[in-house]
Amino acid sequence: MGGAENHPQPEDRPGLAIRRYGDMCFHEVEEVVAEGYIVDNILIPRHEVLEVRRVDAPPPPACNLRRGNETPMTSPFDPSSVISEHALAIDASGIRKVFDLAAKLKDPINLSIGQPDFDVPDVLKEKAIEAIRAGKNRYTPTQGIAELIAPIKAKTMQETGWKDPGILILSGTSAGLLLALFATLNAGDEVLFLDPYFVMYKHLPKLCGAVAVGVDTYPDFRLHPERLEAAITPRTKVLILCSPNNPTGITLTAEELNAAADIAKKHRLLVIADEIYDAFSYGPHHSIAPLLPEQCILLKGYSKTYGMTGWRLGYAAGPKAIIDQMTKLQQYTFVCAPSMVQYAALETALTTHVDMSSHIAAYQKKRDKMVHGLRDHFEINEPGGAFYIFPKVPTRPGTPPHALTATEFVSKAIERNVLIIPGNVFSIRDTHFRVSYATTDGKIDAGIAVLNQLADDVTR
């Protein structure tokens, strides 16, 4: 970029402001030239500009117009003044807000929790304690202990048909999402995912200066290939797929995954397959990984399957060129996964002592109980996995379809001591709400009764 001569005075400026890719704030333009825009005496090429607007137009939330002729004011230090634009661009999780509310209620019917209600199996607790007592409390290699990598790699090769994937042991699959995106995205790149979506898919790309793009799946929450293809632009780089899905519980079929794989190959997209809920598949589990041996990062974890959400353990598998970069980034962020948890996980990889099938079967029964209990009052797409359903908010006959938002419905439920999550936490729409059945049968029955009564009340 080159400097501009004859710095224009404020009264001579064109009255425009620009925002570059990866930049949350607008900057006043001093001059428009053939090659682009002059800002602070620097040429900004047109291809680097995301948006142009009038200076007198109101800026977006959390964004201030910076005028080139403004000088800093002398004032006491304000900690909020140093908060980054990346941080301000991210909303606090609506799920965490409900968790905070739950802590203040007395014995709520909590159908908001995104984690199993069963405890870590005793054999894994004992193995973790053994590792601690044996002094295995120090850093491990960034990529994870070799004893755990070997069986995970063998299992991945068996399940996917991949020949020699890279493996990285993670501090949970959420860390894998962050590392995969940091390793692959540049400012202005676009990331596709299905809407409704897991909350991180919307926000993590912003930390990379990238653009998050939800692909509508309403009303059935299925993958529609024509919608997916229509969302692709020259800047699209990554597609994230989660099956079974959070928040809908929908599992993708082999046909849907084949269509997605064809689109990824056609447009040279990297696919991140988030399969954290794979054990909670109440029918056949299909993965896109075997279809994309060189274009897929596979994320799996232990948190949901073994009830160890606080232990933070997962793994990524995929092309070594990408896994190596993720490993390098982990070295400077998470360092390594918890050492004693890695050693405990060996019990799941090397023995058959940890059988979770009874828990999975119990959760399938909980799903059936919840779906059967609510379906006469709510529109529900029956989930094939995970431990969520995503009912539609009912409306009074003769009123507009969305006269009552999910946020309003959830507020009414909370007034009756039932905690659920409004759909706008997971979606651009606010028409549905997430219910978790990862709780006791008694809480499920009580929650069904309250929600059905509430549905009757709001539709009268």
Question: 10-residue block means of pLDDT along the chain (460 residues)?
Answer: 43 76 77 83 82 71 52 66 80 68 81 92 96 96 96 96 97 96 95 96 93 96 98 97 97 98 98 97 96 97 93 96 97 96 93 91 97 97 96 87 87 93 94 96 97 94
pLDDT of residue 96: 66
Cα separation, 155 vs 370, in Å, equals 34
CATH 3.30.70.1230 at 137-350, yes or no? no
Topology classification of domain 94-117+356-459: Aspartate Aminotransferase, domain 1 (3.90.1150)
Cα separation, 211 vs 189, in Å, equals 6
pTM (2 d.p.): 0.82
- State the DSSP H helix or E strand holding residue 71, giving kind and residue range, or none if neither: none
Domain range annotation of the chain: 10-70, 94-117+356-459, 137-350
Q: How far from 392 is each of 16, 214, 366, 405, CA to CA, in Å?
A: 43, 19, 19, 10
| Residue 4, burial from CB neighbour count under 10 angstroms (0-12, 13-18, 19+) | middle
